[in-house]
Amino acid sequence: MTSRRSMLLTMVAGVLAMGHLPAPAAARRADPIRMYDTDKDGTLDLAEVKTAASALFAKLDRDHDGTLDKRELAGRLTAGELAAADPDHDGTLTQDEYIAVVEQRFNAADPDKDGTLDRKELNSKAGQALLHLLR
């Protein structure tokens, strides 16, 4: 009885530990460079970012009509950002329109204009704004 109880406690402790990963491990798991850096040079270039954005676009487009509406965007763009990114004002974004926003944010997040985003650039406010459109 006692050993069963302690086994159960060990299991519970294990589950709790899994739910409370130390911050560095959690950060590593969600590291955007590890996730999207397909050429493994330690930075994200525009092609890698566009690939990630296209994959997310396909995932978000639940009704498969080739556009994202406000509901499908699920808060990724504010009403104002959506209106600015939607030149024909039909309230939806095509993949090209979505990628155009991604490209603007990429450039905003790359102040040294070397065409790649390193960890520091991705951690900036502009970098975080870009990452919202990738995941």
| Eight-class DSSP state of 110 | -
41 binding Ca ion? (CB under 5 A): yes
Helix (H, G, I), strand (E, B) or coil at 75: coil
Considering beta carbons, is residue 31 or 63 the nearer one to Ca ion? 63
Only segment of 39-47, 77-85, 96-104, 124-132 that touches Ca ion (CB under 5 A): 39-47
31 binding Ca ion? (CB under 5 A): no
Residues numbered 61-120 forming contacts with Ca ion, rule: CB under 5 A: 61, 63, 65, 67, 110, 112, 114
38-62: buried (b, 16+ CB within 10 Å) or exposed (e) per residue? eeeeebbbbebbbebbeebbeebbe
> How many residues bind Ca ion, per CB under 5 A?
10
Contacts of 1 (CB under 8 A, 6+ apart): none
Task: List residues near Ca ion by CB under 5 A.
Answer: 37, 39, 41, 61, 63, 65, 67, 110, 112, 114
